[in-house]
Amino acid sequence: MKIVLATRNRHKVEEIKQILKIYLPDEIYSGLEILSTADFPEIPDIYEDGKTYYENASKKARIVHKFTGLPSVADDSGIEVDFLNGEPGVISAVYAGENATDDENNRKLLKLLEGVPIENRTARFRCVIVYVDGDVEKIFEGVTEGKVIFEPRGDGGFGYDPLFVPDGFDLTFAQMPKDLKNRISHRAKAIKKFAEFISEILQKQN
Ligand code: ITT
């Protein structure tokens, strides 16, 4: 079976593949051909104008399914900071501007949290995964709670990882070994549910 990951974010592609490898039985993972938007140059850029993660993920999965004819899986995700009333949330990727780098987004977030003590820096990462194949649409969600620290730590991961320490840990997502982030992250929780769903489909086919 082929599936297409409807994302242009290469970090997400890498993480989703690693998480699927953790949660799918070996015989299913090895029979799965995991493609991504990068394999289909004809797919246009997708403008993310949704007000919710679901709207954006559903739009990405539907467009990629339309162009490829293959089961498509989109991820829309973001960080929600309580002190900022849930911002940046759905606009996490473009918080500091349309073409903002991760570094610019992180600096904006730190500036808005200047002077805020650690106990008030609570936040969560949320990931919404949408699977589309023909008339079938399925939604899977994962959330990981934690805090935004005072300065970036670590070189791993992407996005806001250097600023986020998940509850129960001392390391940021960017300091952790990849396979630890990929067991406890918002994306891991959502993809674990997707892996259960896809395993069932594939087992029925065999
Ligand atoms: P696609 O839309 O092509 O999938 P994108 O990076 O634009 O790629 P989103 O619109 O879903 O994806 O934006 C998600 C942003 O939220 C992402 O760019 C990061 O800034 C942040 N984010 C999501 N998951 C993250 C993670 O695991 N670690 C750090 N930051 C994350």
SS (H, E, C) the chain: CEEEECCCCHHHHHHHHHHHHHHCCHHHHHCCEEEEHHHCCCCCCCCCCCCCHHHHHHHHHHHHHHHHCCCEEEEEEEEEEHHHCCCEHHHHHHCCCCCCCHHHHHHHHHHHCCCCCHHHCEEEEEEEEEEEECCEEEEEEEEEEEEECCCCCCCCCCCCHHHEEECCCCCCCCCCCHHHHHHHCHHHHHHHHHHHHHHHHHHHHC
**How much distance in Å is there from the Cα of 61 to the middle of ligand 1?**
15
Rounded-to-integer distance, Cα 73 and Cα 160, Å: 22
Q: pLDDT tier at 22 (50, 70, 90 boundaries)?
A: very high
Dihedral sign for Cα 196, 202, 204, 206, please. Answer: negative
Q: Is the pLDDT of residue 76 over 90?
A: yes
Q: Whole-model pTM? A: 0.97
User: Residue 99: what pLDDT?
Assistant: 94
* Distance (Å) from CA 206 to ligand 1 centroid: 35
181 is in an annotated binding site: yes
Please say if the pLDDT value at position 206 is more than 80: no
CB 11 within 8 A of CB 17: no
The active-site residue, picked from 76, 133, 135, 179, is 76
Buried b (16+ CB within 10 A) or exposed e, 68-82: bebbbbbbbbbbbbe
C-alpha–C-alpha distance, residues 154 and 173, integer Å: 8
Q: Tell me what pLDDT residue 205 has.
A: 79
Residue list, ligand 1 pocket, CB within 6 Å: 7-9, 12, 48, 75-79, 92-93, 105, 125, 157-161, 173, 185, 187
How high does pLDDT run on average in the chain? 97
What separation in Å is there between the alpha carbon of 75 and the centre of ligand 1? 8
pLDDT of 114 > 90? The answer is yes
Question: Which residue minimizes the CA distance to atom 8 of ligand 1?
Answer: 9
* Alpha-carbon span 19 to 1, nearest angstrom: 18
Percentage of the chain lying above the pLDDT 90 cut? 97
pLDDT digits (tens, 9 = 90+) for 152-181: 999 999 999 999 999 999 999 999 999 999
CATH (domain of 141): 3.90.950.10
Q: What's the rounded mean pLDDT across residues 133-149? A: 98
Based on the structure, what is the number of domains in the chain? 1
Domain that holds residue 52: 2-205
Is pLDDT above 80 for 8?
A: yes
CB 22 within 8 A of CB 30: no
User: Is 45 labeled as catalytic in the residue annotation?
Assistant: no
Parallel/antiparallel/unpaired status of strands 33-36 and 164-166: unpaired
| Residues 121/129, Cβ–Cβ less than 8 Å | no
